Structure 1
Amino acid sequence: MITHFQWKPLFKDNTLPGWKISFYVNKQHYQAIYHKDGQIEWKNIQPSDHLEAELKQAIHELMLFHVYE
């Protein structure tokens, strides 16, 4: 589903929460901001409601794996 997942801190001071994320789904490039409370702010494309629910779950899992562990 999600490929080429990338994340980086929003601020140079890594202790401040917030991350820029980007990834591909079905050859479509998505960019968003992942806030410390788990809210996702879509930047370039808003996914459909059905896809958004699936993406949010997958992104939360990826962020838990990469950032919080």
Structure 2
Amino acid sequence: MIQHFSFRPLYENQQLPGWTISFFYKQNRYEGIYEKDGVIKWTSETPRNEEQIKKMVHELMLFHVYD
């Protein structure tokens, strides 16, 4: 389960979509850039079970950003 999920706009003017994300998963901290098309570019190490984590991140972004 993802814990301490946070996101911030990538651009100051907030007119361009894109967000920085960070969270903990199994006691490891992960950071990345969530682009407007849902692509995640990891700025930290890539998680071992990346596809499963991507699904969880997409759900959180849909709930927090696109709701």
The two structures share one fold, judged by TM-score above 0.5 = yes
Sequence identity (%): 49
Ranges in structure 1 where 5+ consecutive residues have no aligned partner:
none
Runs of 4+ in structure 1 displaced over 3 angstroms?
A: none
TM-score if structure 1 supplies the norm length? 0.94
Cα deviation code 1:36-55 (max 9, x no counterpart):
0000000111112xx10111
TM-score if structure 2 supplies the norm length? 0.96
> Residue 13 of structure 1 corresponds to which residue in structure 2?
13
| CA–CA distance in structure 1, aligned partners of residues 44 and 58 of structure 2 | 19
**Mapping of 1:48-63 within 5 angstroms?**
48=48, 51-63=49-61
Aligned residues: 67
Ranges in structure 2 where 5+ consecutive residues have no aligned partner:
none
